Amino acid sequence: DTAVSQTPKYLVTQMGNDKSIKCEQNLGHDTMYWYKQDSKKFLKIMFSYNNKELIINETVPNRFSPKSPDKAHLNLHINSLELGDSAVYFCASGHRGTDTQYFGPGTRLTVL
Amino acid sequence: AQSVSQHNHHVILSEAASLELGCNYSYGGTVNLFWYVQYPGQHLQLLLKYFSGDPLVKGIKGFEAEFIKSKFSFNLRKPSVQWSDTAEYFCAVNESNAGNMLTFGGGTRLMVKP
């Protein structure tokens, strides 16, 4: 009965690789989000997406791209991974009108 | 662009002490305000939120927060903390015309000594 789930929980990879993190929500929400939490616990929005609109935080490198096969999924694809990409990535979902977001358990990405 | 400031980066309290964590935001328009908690090794959980109405909002686990519009503040309070409140606390602000994306403060790490 997990509301927002992410896989994998941990991801360790080499610089230059391409990787994806998957996110699924079973709450029937129309909007999904990706956040990055750095080593100092600072949380920053990366993307907001529903089936009509993608909003990208302008500071996010174009190596990062969200991909949504359907309304319940928003995967995060990262090309040419860099050391600075090491962080915990959180997926969240919510209804666009109600503003409360529910977070997934996070994926800890380590780039070596 | 809006910003959110949490003035206390680390707070250490003894059990039963009262807690107040500060949060200020910079946006002058209509905002929604949130406090999230992240227990060690866990994901973010919503503590409470303010959209409109009574500026004093009550959340889970005995937490409350007061929205003071004139001060652009949304401070979190709890009259008597417990060891289990040890966690990272994040204030967040949302503008409806920004795709509902949350802007988070830098977080406050609370440690409650038993």
| Separate counts of helices (H) and strands (E) for chain B | 0, 12
Give the whole-angstrom CA distance, residue B44 versus residue B37: 6
Residue B91 near residue B35, CB atoms below 8 Å: yes
* A10-20 mean pLDDT: 96
Whole-number Cα distances in Å, A78 to A26, A44, B47: 24, 16, 31
Query: Could you tell me which of A79, A107, A102 has the C-alpha nearest to residue A33?
Result: A102
Q: Determine the pLDDT at residue B20.
A: 97
Q: Say yes or no for a CB contact (<8 Å) between A44 and B104.
A: yes
For A45, the closest of B45, B51, B102 (CB atoms) is B102
Q: Say yes or no for a CB contact (<8 Å) between A48 and B49.
A: no
Q: To the nearest whole angstrom, how far is the Cα of B97 from the nearest Cα of chain A?
A: 10
DSSP per-residue codes, A74-90: -EEEE-S--GGG-EEEE
Q: Determine the pLDDT at residue B15.
A: 96
Is A58 a residue whose pLDDT tops 90? no
Is A71 a residue whose pLDDT tops 90? no
Buried (b) or exposed (e) across A27-36, using 16+ Cβ within 10 A?
eebebbbbbb
Best of B30, B46, B100, B111 to disrupt the A interface (most A CBs within 10 Å) is: B100
Q: Choose the most confident range, by mean pLDDT, from A63-77, A87-101, B27-41, B78-92.
A: B78-92
Euclidean distance between the first and the last CA atom of chain B, given in angstroms as a whole number: 41
